[in-house]
Chains A and B, each alone.
Chain A
């Protein structure tokens, strides 16, 4: 049995410890940071298929604070800690060249990881808010880590938008506390179930969901994302796009809708239509971009649309598709951002026009970019194909062929924009291609190419996780969401 507070204490403790020791020893931040994320990865793999409610300080559920581990949190824990291990491995060499203060970097990085682990495990509304703020503040600081003009501007924008979202959430938590007199999520759900639905509940629902949707960057709320994600250092972009928008945004929205407020027909429509809008608008804006990282950032908006579409359908197959796409997106999007980081590391540019013919000089980076591009555009047998296929199949089965049509169109547009990436950077060359610079290029150092290789292998083979469909590895997650409010109450408050 894994001790749940370890997921929170370990990263916070090490984040505190790193600045104290590493003024004397330069190698300490690298070693400590990577060992911590590796241990967290092992711990999160040990939690698979377990269910547990941990009472902090031994106080029973409605009075004390609880940490809840169920199928959904297990999956998110594995995603968070896998991607954070890959990113911290990538950071060892990447930070040497452009950035200076490694101890602050690893300290903030671990604060962010710990905050996200806490968000995913928390069973209490106010603690959810606090952990979310810890992770958000660390990520605001990491976006502006380079301290160049553009990075500072992006960080400022991200902070103002993110803070509006957080305050909405806090206001909604206050309203819900005033209505129900409790902060425990299961207890709030139990009380809301029995009292008649009124305007106050509807208002707090809208506030809290829009607060978290700002964090998950669905289309009306997406303005900060294309500035913030490209400005961060590449491993942080991988964390932001791969994990932060999921753990702080999508996960909390799903958890609140399915396990606290209850899922119904109207919410299903809202989720599906918002999903379709961000799917199409995100990808249309992405095609126009010439900055590689900005293009990838717009694709994050579009792919989150697929996740919301799948889950919004509310059928077993739809939820399976949405959850599986969430998992796959974290793999291939973080791989793409790490690739863009290693391209930037060697060529020192992000402009697609200035790149070209990378496959001759950087075989590993080009190969992994190709794998991830095919994965995100949904070409069989890569993992992105299976999840998109299931979402499309589910929407046809649910009697909504329009959703399927838009999903196919979005997928074709994605394919075309990644054809552009591969054409200009890897196999062809851009208009401002610089031959002299190209002669000097070489493959990135080992510590940067290892995460690329691991993530590419995962991208190729995770399609196999689908074996058994809803009875397979994603079964517990679907049970949590299909079980709805009642099962969650029983799990947390029962016994």
Chain B
């Protein structure tokens, strides 16, 4: 149970960083932390104590295998989701470099020109 609480705390820390912080780099870190929290949650769903990799090797009993193997689906999903996270973080970072070139600042208060 405690790990789920930790994940929830991590999620809200990320959300706080994303929503409250004024510095663009800190916002990007917030995005990253939320992504980690969700991915970790997915992994924990498929966790099994003393589990083995879900690969069937010759000489293994099928009943034994079913009892011990971890669920491979969340791992596959998390791989995909990490790739998506990576592309978003890369895009955000390159965007913030461009923003720094134009505005000369990482402070979102100073960047704000779109209003109304």
Bitwise interface map of B from 13 to 41 toward A, beta carbon under 8 Å scored 1, else 0: 00100100000100100010011001001
For chain A, residues 135 to 182, give those with C-beta under 8 angstroms from any C-beta of chain B: 137, 140-141, 144, 147-150, 152-157, 159-160, 163-164, 167, 170-171, 174, 177-178
In the complex, residue of chain B having the shortest beta-carbon distance to the beta carbon of A290: B116
Known A126-B77, A137-B87: A178·B98 in contact at CB below 8 Å: no
Contacting residue for A137 out of B11, B80, B88, B99, CB 8 A: B88
Contact A159 B116 (CB under 8 A): no
Interface of B is mostly: helix
A130–B116 alpha-carbon span in the complex (Å): 33
Q: CB < 8 Å: which of A130, A150, A183 contacts B84?
A: A130
Nearest chain A residue, comparing its CB with the CB of B19 = A164
Neighbouring B residues of A147 by C-beta, 8 Å? 98
Shortest Cβ distance from residue B72 to the other chain A in the assembled complex, whole angstroms: 13
Write the chain B residue with the least CB distance to A285: B116
Whether A171 contacts B103 by the Cβ 8 Å rule is: no
Indicate if A294 sits at the interface (CB-CB under 8 A): yes
Report A291 CB to chain B, min CB distance, Å. 8
Q: B73-116 vs A: 1/0 string, CB under 8 Å?
A: 11001001100100110011001101100110000000111101
Q: How far is the CB of A426 from chain B (nearest CB, A)?
A: 23
Considering residues B45, B88, B96, which has the most beta carbons from chain A within 10 angstroms of its beta carbon?
Answer: B88
- Please report the C-alpha to C-alpha distance between residue A303 and residue B99 in the assembled complex, in whole angstroms: 33
Partner of A159, one of B38, B41, B88, B114: B88
Contacts of B92 in A (CB 8 A): 156, 159
Task: Determine whether the beta carbon of A170 is less than 8 Å from that of B95.
Answer: no
Q: In the bound complex, do residue B113 and residue A140 qualify as a contact, i.e. CB atoms below 8 Å apart?
A: no
Partner of B96, one of A140, A156, A183, A291: A156
Interfacial chain B residues near A178, Cβ < 8 Å? 45
Whether B42 sits at the interface, judged by CB under 8 Å, is yes
- Residues of B with Cβ closer than 8 Å to A? 11, 15, 18, 24, 27, 31, 34-35, 38, 41-42, 45, 73-74, 77, 80-81, 84, 87-88, 91-92, 95-96, 98-99, 102-103, 111-114, 116
9 contacts between A and B (CB under 8 A): A130-B84, A148-B102, A149-B99, A150-B114, A152-B99, A153-B114, A167-B35, A171-B11, A171-B41
